[in-house]
Amino acid sequence: MTGTETFYKSLKTHRETQGIQISEISEKTKINSKYFDAIEKGQFSILPTVYIRLFLRTYCIEVGADFEQALKDFEKYTTGKVTEKTELKFQPVSDIPNIKNNSKDDKLFNENFSRKNIIYVIIGIIIIFSLIQFVSYLSKEAESSVQPAVNNNESIIDEPGTALPNSELSESDDLTSYSTLPIPTLLEENIVYNDNKLIEQNAYRLTVSPPFIFTVSAFAQTKVHILSITNTIFNGIMDSDETRIFTITDTLKFDFWSAQHVHADVNGVDLSSYITNNDLAIRGSLVPDGSLSVQQYSH
């Protein structure tokens, strides 16, 4: 590898020296081999925009490359600031640790903090806890005003999605919610879906294609958000034992407040094996070629 060799060519050279075939990576990750071939050729326009970094990260992990450095080099390369890359760090594939065990929290507690840093951390925790309590209070105050609008018997979504009528609940129904249920406007990026709360993300390949018939059933009262590329299909509260069916002709995007409260399938394919059954928030997307991305967030 020369000092002027672009980072993606360095990745290819390293893969070949490891004796790893692109077909092996594709088989293991369930990601189309054409995307890995495009990475090695620097043809990033071929990759789906929302998955470029995920695919590059996955590739680096499989061949034993430093994915953090590769992502930095990708940013520099695509913005036109740098056309050459510095030396990439490589390690044998067999020595790569499990990503799940290398969370930011592990690194945080393995470092030797000074007394001043510990004080800053404690203050930060107190501030975060106070904000959580405040948001919880707002949610409880607003829930009573949102609930009547959601519990009427009329369908609350328009085409292209179709919905079954809301089920009626008696006063004796037990609505179990293991986490504070937010009102629709609070299930947003700055409340749940941000990098600080990301626990895990995975990519899969399903043998499905549009139109996507997306069926969601609720086990307990929970928050659901369904979108397509162009518009919001549904954003509201689903009641216990309620089922809704949505038809999406392009990219399907979905948010679940709690994976433990819902069951979902698309075109008859059960998504249970791809979504955790814990009380975690889920964000997912399914593109027309069948590529499924799932992220898990803490509340």
Compare 90 and 148 and report the one with higher pLDDT. Answer: 90
Mean pLDDT of 248-259: 93
pLDDT for 209: 94
pLDDT for 243: 95
Q: Is the pLDDT of residue 74 over 60?
A: yes
Compare 162 and 38 and report the one with higher pLDDT. Answer: 38
pTM of this structure: 0.40
Mean pLDDT of 241-247: 95
SS (H, E, C) 157-225: CCCCCCCCCCCCCCCCCCCCCCCCCCCHHHCCCCCCCCHHHEEEEEEEECCCCCCEEEEEEECCCEEEE
In the chain, where the domains are located: 7-96, 130-297
pLDDT for 111: 54
**Distance between CA atoms of residues 10 and 86, nearest Å:** 10
Tokens of 282: 């889920």
* Neighbouring C-beta atoms of residue 253, cutoff 10 Å: 20
7-96: CATH superfamily: lambda repressor-like DNA-binding domains (1.10.260.40)
Compare 169 and 124 and report the one with higher pLDDT. Answer: 124
Minimum mean pLDDT among 95-99, 127-131, 222-226: which range?
95-99
Residue tagged 């409880």 (tokens): 140
Q: pLDDT digit string (tens) for 12-31?
A: 999 999 999 999 999 999 99
CA dihedral 107, 111, 117, 118 (to 10 degrees): 90
Q: pLDDT digit string (tens) for 171-185?
A: 334 444 456 666 655
Compare 42 and 160 and report the one with higher pLDDT. Answer: 42
Per-residue pLDDT band for 9 (boundaries 50, 70, 90) equals: very high
Per-residue pLDDT band for 95 (boundaries 50, 70, 90) equals: low
